[in-house]
Amino acid sequence: MTSELANRLKELRAREGLTQAELAARVGVTRKTINTVENRVFVPSTILALKLAAALAVPVEEIFSLEPRGED
């Protein structure tokens, strides 16, 4: 069974009252990178995932989780 990476980045970012641009500035990437991660177009590296978790002050597994792929 294959899995894909789900995330609650948008929800957690909104909870912190941050815009995509503000979160991007905190972790040192472009707003577009945050946008594509939120929309599950781009899977971030472990380093970026940990930076996002640190910026939102949550454990990384609260942002990212594995879910079974739809067609399986």
Partner 1 sequence: MEDQISKLIRQRDRLLTLAAVSFLFWQGAQLAMDIAQEGGWEFGPFELVVHLCLLAGALGWAGASFLFLLYASRVQRSKAQSVIQDELFCHNQRIAIRFGFMALIAATALLLAADLLVDFSATIALRALLIIGITAPLSRFLILGRDDLEDES
Residues binding partner 1 (CB under 8 A)? 10, 14, 19-21, 24-25, 28-33, 35-36, 38-39, 41-42, 44-45, 48
Q: How far does the chain reach from its first CA to its final CA, in angstroms?
A: 7
Of residues 2 and 45, the one with the C-beta less far from partner 1: 45
Minimum CB distance to partner 1, residue 60 (Å): 16
Name the DSSP class of 44. Answer: P
Alpha helices in 2-45 (DSSP H): 9-15, 20-27, 31-38
Residue listed under structure tokens 């990212």? 64
Of residues 35 and 58, the one with the C-beta less far from partner 1: 35
